[in-house]
Amino acid sequence: MSSVRGGRFVKTRGCPSSLELVLLQSDAISTERSAEIISHLPSCEFCFAEVHFLSRHQLPLIPYEPAEMPEHLRKLAQALLARQELGFEGIR
C-alpha cells in the first residue's frame, strides 16, 4: 500500500476526488464508481488516510445554498475587476 513516490505522501491525478471520498459513505455515488474507489484504496496510502479522516465528516442534511451577494458589494467587485482589466490596478 503506497502512493509514496520518491518519499512523498501525495494525491495523484488518478486518485478519486475528496468529494468522491466523502460521498463514498452515502448512496450519492454509483455502485460502479464506489467499487472502483474501494479497489483503489489498498494501493494508495494517501486516499486510504483521507477516507479515514473524512469518515468523521458528517454530510449536511440540508443542501448548502450560498447567500446572495449584496448589490453594493457586487458593484464594487465589478468596478475593481473592470479597473484591473484596463491595467489600472497599480494606480490609486
Binning the chain into helix, strand and coil, the percentages to the nearest 5 are 50, 5, 50
Instruction: Compute the distance between CA of residue 45 and CA of residue 61 in angstroms, rounded to an integer.
Output: 30
Question: Is 63 strand, coil or helix?
Answer: coil
What are the pLDDT tens digits along the chain (92 aa)? 544 445 578 899 999 999 899 888 887 889 999 999 999 999 999 999 999 998 887 766 677 788 999 999 999 999 999 987 777 655 55
Instruction: Compute the distance between CA of residue 27 and CA of residue 18 in angstroms, rounded to an integer.
Output: 16
